[in-house]
Amino acid sequence: MKTKQFGSMHHDIEQAAQILADGGLVAMPTETVYGLGADALCDQAVAKIYEAKGRPSFNPLISHMASSDMARDYVEWTDVAKKLSNAFWPGPMTLVLPAKQDCAISQLARAGLPSVAIRVPSHPVARALLSKLARPVAAPSANPSGRISPTTLDHVLAGLDGRIDAVIDGGPCEMGVESTIISLLDEPVILRPGNIIIEQIQAVLGTGIKTLTDADVITAPGQLTSHYAPNASVRLNATKFKVDEKSLGFGEIVGDLNLSPSADLREATANLFSMLHKLDTRQGTKIAIAPIPNHGLGIAINDRLKRAAAPRN
């Protein structure tokens, strides 16, 4: 298979939407990372995602929607969902809600669960594609399963060239870390931290919210213990680097690359996956990473790094 490369013009979006309508795979830019999209209502199309990524079939996929109105067609809407969606959609927040009895989203995309993970992305290319297709698009990150998430077209092609039908070039992703995931199946729980931080969520809800740190049951994407992993082994919280290590610094701890010399967590978030990709292509089998403060956006960065460093299955 030859992977087509599209720009972001109207005719490019039309061609990409047609590929999705025909059951193909299209990698699309979002504000967080590039997603590998397929028609979420088609079992055969969704199965191609798992095949291309080598992704475990028990790990559910996020279904991307053109609008909250579209989302309400597939899930049981709640007052809390309304509050959060009004505050943060379009944007990097995924909500896990009970599926409607007649929900047409593929059971493969849902991993057989009675719930659906949904979000409305803010990237203009993703929004144009979703509006043109007028159907939900299941889209995990566009990389081989468990590996570093892609934030550029080149990252997508490095992992999936020849395994997917097309990729749309929307430039580098602005945020660089996947969406915050909140379960609304019972009381609200943060299943995966992201660019929308706990303080923002609590301000909208007017109450505290729990964070799930270790998932016994996978109910949403990004909960596998080993995830976001480079080929090299990863050592965390390194204040000094060894001669045989490729190094990723932060603040005053200088490495081969530095997530943010000024210790800006938003800059570090945007640079995380891109810099891991760069280090992983350099000679050597070890990567050491400086400590990241575990507050605000640092919680999301540390979540990804902990999974990147976890023992591989």
CA distance 61 to 178: 13
CATH number at residue 58: 3.90.870.10
Burial class (CB in 10 A: 0-12, 13-18, 19+), 27: buried
Residues in the chain: 313
At residue 216, the pLDDT reads: 47
Q: Is residue 226 part of a domain?
A: no
User: 155 and 204 in one domain?
Assistant: yes
Q: Is residue 32 part of a domain?
A: yes
User: 171 and 36 in one domain?
Assistant: yes
User: 255 and 184 in one domain?
Assistant: no
Q: Is residue 224 part of a domain?
A: no
Mean pLDDT of successive 10-residue stretches along the chain, which has 313 residues? 96 98 98 97 90 74 96 97 98 97 91 91 98 97 90 96 98 92 93 93 95 58 60 94 96 96 90 88 93 89 85 68
Q: Is residue 295 part of a domain?
A: yes
Extended strands (E) in the chain: 4-6, 26-28, 35-39, 62-64, 93-98, 115-119, 137-138, 166-168, 180-183, 189-192, 210-211, 233-235, 246-249, 257-258, 286-289
Q: Is residue 225 part of a domain?
A: no
Number of domains in the chain: 2
Measured CA distances, 170 to 68, 160, 306 (Å): 23, 17, 29
At residue 215, the pLDDT reads: 47
Q: Is residue 198 part of a domain?
A: yes
User: 257 and 159 in one domain?
Assistant: no
Q: Is residue 9 part of a domain?
A: yes
Contact 180, 18 (CB under 8 A): no
Measured CA distances, 297 to 39, 264, 307, 312 (Å): 32, 10, 16, 25
At residue 303, the pLDDT reads: 81
User: 178 and 122 in one domain?
Assistant: yes
At residue 213, the pLDDT reads: 62
Among 161, 180, 211, residue at a domain's last position:
211
Domain with 241 in it: 233-309
CA distance 11 to 215: 43
pTM: predicted TM-score of the whole model, two decimal places: 0.82
Burial class (CB in 10 A: 0-12, 13-18, 19+), 185: middle
Q: Is residue 59 part of a domain?
A: yes
User: 143 and 288 in one domain?
Assistant: no
User: 164 and 44 in one domain?
Assistant: yes
